[in-house]
A = this chain, B = another copy of it.
Amino acid sequence: MPRLDPDRLFPLEARARDLARALYGAVADLPIVSPHGHCDPAWFAGNDRFPDPARLFVTPDHYVFRMLFSQGVPFDALGVPRADGGAVETDGRAIWRVFAANYHLLRATPPAMWIDHALEHVFGWTPPLVAATADACYDHLSDCLAQDGFRPRALFDRFGVETLATTDSALDPLEAHAAIRASDWGGHVIPTYRPDAVVDPDHEGFARNVDALGAMTGEDVSSWRSYLAAHRARRAEFVAMGARASDHGHPTARTEDLPEAEAAALYDRVRAGQASAKEAETFRGQMLTEMARMSLEDGLVMQIHAGAARNHSAAMLASHGRDMGFDIPTRTDYVTALRPLLSAHGTDPRLRVIVFTLDETAYSRELAPLAGVYPALLLGPAWWFFDSPEGMRRYREAVTETAGFYNTAGFNDDTRAFCSIPARHDVARRVDCAYLATLVATGRLAEADAHEVAQDLAYNLAKRAYRLDRA
């Protein structure tokens, strides 16, 4: 017996619910376009079996382990690796038992919705997940994972993924991507150029990374010009491997547009490790504008993911390292921050910049007004903590009246949890159809138009935004 409500996330009132059902019915099975995410291309290159259920659902998922940690479950018990070399639980079943016993902590959260969906639709498991069912569930999932139908490529095909973009360091040799392309498998997996490690002077190992960039490209990188040339060369390699986008994860959205001599001098200081915190921020900002200029040349779509205060707990950074759930959103000012880049290139329709925010107040105040006028600017979907039913609803309600639908970029699942991909797209499609149904029921949108927009939000806009509709 299925546990998921077939009408979940739809409006409650009967007519609006019927409208939502009809809209959703027409988009539910459209192919999945995933133009931004963090799956490992090696999964599809090697097509090895996924390890045990705990390592699929718990240990790598910061949404899950941070919530359990917040209620006193130690990371060690969840098998979360330590940076300080300390021992952690390695028995998948033991981890799974802890997870199941604490699964109620995730009630009414997106990860619970994704996991419930994956358990039921991907693995065919429908009982509730509680302490009493932990072992049975673990056994069931383990049995599935042993089957060829649950290998990465089979799941990719079963999920109906049309395109999956990974996120790859500018220093990545792209071997996994090359292997996929060389294989007889037809899945469309493409890389994304993520240059933070060679663009952010505060990144650990920055100077060493820039040297590596030089070595990979045969550029000298001792000068601003050759450093930019190295970026161009690597971007070209990404493009050759199918990339459609670059991605930039900066603490703020600040951009700069310095005169070349000034930028060159700044590069020298940065490269020598002499830059102040303020200069490092200026350099990051300058590099966003440089990347925009390269986009005008090579056509890569530029994504800006700004506004996280990384590694909030010094103690946890020391014991467990980065990406342990301690990245916290902060206020971000987009109006001032994006002005240099947008003043320089924002009205050029050949440029495409997709901006994401962790500060929801910027939707209606800053981002929708900016995207509603600059041809180069699109708004990325609700991101990270806001990739949720309420977050998506607030996004549409805050953005649409000023930016419309066509200045938004469709959905990103943005995940490294491969089995959650169908669930995430399903939530987005349901929430968007619920929103459209409400617009129709309140006389704000014609029903025929709503059907067209539903297709756009579920499929067309993502392809168009990331230029996947081009040869």
Contacts and interface: CB of A to CB of B under 8 A. Distances in A.
A364 B335 contact: no
Given A12-B438, A105-B406, A108-B405, 20 more contacts: A3-B446, A9-B442, A10-B442, A70-B371, A70-B377, A104-B449, A107-B449, A107-B453, A108-B400, A108-B439, A108-B444, A109-B401, A312-B342, A313-B374, A325-B372, A325-B373, A329-B369, A330-B333, A359-B361, A360-B361
Contacts of A43: none
A347 B331 CA distance: 24
9 contacts: A4-B443, A5-B442, A70-B374, A109-B401, A312-B343, A325-B372, A326-B373, A361-B361, A369-B385
Contact of A398 (B9, B343, B346, B390): B390
Interface of A: 3-5, 7-13, 15-16, 66-67, 69-72, 104-110, 113, 128, 309, 312-316, 325-326, 328-331, 333, 335-336, 339, 342-344, 346-347, 349, 358-361, 364-366, 368-375, 377, 385-386, 388-391, 397-398, 400-407, 438-439, 441-446, 449, 452-453
A401 to B, nearest CB: 4
Contacts of A4: 443
A401 B391 contact: yes
Nearest to A372: B70
Given A109-B404, A443-B7, A70 B375 contact: yes
Max chain B Cβ within 10 angstroms of own Cβ: one of A107, A312, A360, A391: A107
A335 B342 contact: no
Contacts of A401: 108-110, 385, 388-391
Contacts of A330: 333, 335-336, 365-366
A104 B329 CA distance: 35
Number of copies of this kind of chain in the complex: 3
A360 B365 contact: yes
A132 to B, nearest CB: 14
A153 to B, nearest CB: 31
Nearest to A3: B446
Contacts of A113: 444
Nearest to A362: B331
A396 to B, nearest CB: 9
B12 A407 contact: no
Nearest to A325: B373
A444 B69 CA distance: 23
A8 B70 contact: no
Contact of A71 (B333, B390, B406): B406
Given A12-B16, A369-B329, A402 B385 contact: yes
A460 to B, nearest CB: 13
Contacts of A439: 108
A407 to B, nearest CB: 6
A439 to B, nearest CB: 5
Contacts of A406: 71, 104-105
Nearest to A369: B328
Contact of A364 (B13, B346, B360): B360
A375 B453 contact: no
A441 B444 CA distance: 23
A322 to B, nearest CB: 14
A438 B11 CA distance: 10
A12 B333 CA distance: 37
A313 B346 contact: yes
A365 B109 contact: no
B315 A343 contact: yes
Given A13-B12, A443-B5, A333 B331 contact: yes
Contacts of A374: 70, 313
Nearest to A11: B12
A106 B339 CA distance: 25
A438 B10 CA distance: 11
B13 A389 contact: no
B8 A443 contact: yes
Contact of A328 (B16, B70, B366, B391): B366
Nearest to A444: B108
Contact of A375 (B5, B72, B343, B365): B72
Nearest to A364: B360
A444 B343 CA distance: 44
Contacts of A358: 365
A89 to B, nearest CB: 18
A336 to B, nearest CB: 8
